[in-house]
Structure 1
């Protein structure tokens, strides 16, 4: 079966086991696609596995990995990569993404750690991305992560990301909230950062809430509603690059399903506005 495609104005929700009931009973138009972490679903059977198969048969499913540890020096688990490829094929997944980070050191570290921003690291991680793409038989997208301390910066973050994308010839999962959080925490201009990204490589957007520890310290939590400033940055990203499929992330403090759908409506409004504007310009 061939993978599905996502419309540019698609608005999606994260597939969480606590939401399985509401997602399966959802009214048409509540959401356009779902995103899951395949690490949490590969090999799952029983009622959870049946629920996943039901949802992926009716809605496009994108996958966001947690454990490939692209920046690590540990070898990839070839058995896991084969299972991952079968999972992506079985569910006709249009986009697979992973974090531009590492999360292992001779074992899982259960945290997303930043890669040093160096030329050597660019070559290393780009080579590993190419390995993954070959093993999965598809291009993947890598996500810009939030980070609070950098191990070494021989180049700015934006140059590092762009160099990896070019060297690996892969796509970008643009996390709008992570840009906002990093811009505050590391004192750079979020809109200037956006303007330097290669829009043609952006596969889709993530948007999420964060915690305001202080005026100059934001913590990426995925546990709160999206802040107005982050919505404004999504609006700017759509103005620069055009609307892209956008995933509303919520990992804990999950509100009632109706509240998630209402917040997703705010996302959809931004995407639809820019799609309509682009169509008007195309007809002019």
Structure 2
């Protein structure tokens, strides 16, 4: 069993100081946030990586976007992954760039054949360039394109099958989408290919007064998402599991307590 924590600057010095004894197996960072950093943060990161495995979770690949892949970025990314011994590189099945530049948000894509062909081809190019599988996350989305002619699940399964990429199964996103778009999260889980699931994300969400759930990563993991995590472990077996907490970040001890709570829930259900 392997448990991880998103490594954030808010607690990086403390984490680096204590990392040898912390009950965390791996850390996850967004490589874009570290490409140009040196000084104390870079030294703290190196101290952490002496004791913890590194997972990289990107923000700006825009794998399904309309603009050409950014080759200069991919070169720097490959150097970073290799230079820091990253075990995994994951991204989002979404896009974040148009002709005007980066949009600083993850936008949904239409679920149809043309989008599938475009995305699969780009995944292949990225995997060939990096020399490793691309791990893609099922993302939360809040609207559907009228031209979509298949479901989120059908599109995801086709991407996995045709590209050979792996899946970062975000259970918070799965629950949020299942509630917002009115489908069964359990049925979604049951249809996934176990051999393609690389690791899990869990996080908190916000329940909007008008009924929508918003993937905010600003609180602990809900009972519903914890239940999905238990179901996933029972169905697919153990996978590395990461706690995301990116906004309103609490002290490190609270994050460690939340991770320990999740660990105990899984152990009790095993």
TM class, shorter-chain normalised?
A: over 0.9
SS state of the match for residue 11, structure 2?
Answer: helix
Following superposition of structure 1 onto structure 2, how do residues 135-284 of structure 1 map, counting pairs within 5 Å?
135-151=129-145, 152-214=147-209, 216-273=211-268, 277=270
- 1:54 Cα offset (Å): 1.7
Query: Given that residues 64 and 95 in structure 2 are in contact (C-alpha distance below 8 angstroms), is that contact kept between their aligned partners in structure 1?
Result: yes
CA distance, structure 2, for counterparts of residue 266 and residue 101 of structure 1: 31
Aligned match of 1:282? none
Aligned Cα RMSD in Å?
1.3
Greater than 2 Å deviation, 4+ residue runs: 269-274
- 1:230 Cα offset (Å): 0.7
Q: Which runs of 5+ in 1 are unaligned?
A: 1-8, 278-284
Query: Given that residues 16 and 45 in structure 2 are in contact (C-alpha distance below 8 angstroms), is that contact kept between their aligned partners in structure 1?
Result: no
Query: Given that residues 142 and 170 in structure 1 are in contact (C-alpha distance below 8 angstroms), is that contact kept between their aligned partners in structure 2?
Result: yes
* Residues 155-188 of structure 1, C-alpha deviations (whole Å, 9 max, x = no match): 0110000000111100000000000000000000
- Pair 1:28 & 2:21 matched: yes
Q: Which runs of 5+ in 2 are unaligned?
A: none
Higher relative contact order (CA 8 A, sep 6+): 1
Instruction: Name which of 120, 130, 140 aligns with 1:126.
Output: 120
Instruction: Name which of 10, 16, 28 aligns with 2:2.
Output: 10
- 1:215 Cα offset (Å): 7.5
CA distance, structure 1, for counterparts of residue 5 and residue 230 of structure 2: 19
Q: How many residues align?
A: 267
CA distance, structure 1, for counterparts of residue 125 and residue 266 of structure 2: 34
Query: Given that residues 10 and 268 in structure 1 are in contact (C-alpha distance below 8 angstroms), is that contact kept between their aligned partners in structure 2?
Result: no
Instruction: Name which of 41, 47, 53 aligns with 1:48.
Output: 41
Query: Given that residues 95 and 107 in structure 2 are in contact (C-alpha distance below 8 angstroms), is that contact kept between their aligned partners in structure 1?
Result: yes
CA distance, structure 2, for counterparts of residue 266 and residue 97 of structure 1: 25
* Residues 56-90 of structure 1, C-alpha deviations (whole Å, 9 max, x = no match): 22210100000010111211121111111111111
Aligned match of 2:71? 78
Aligned match of 1:6? none
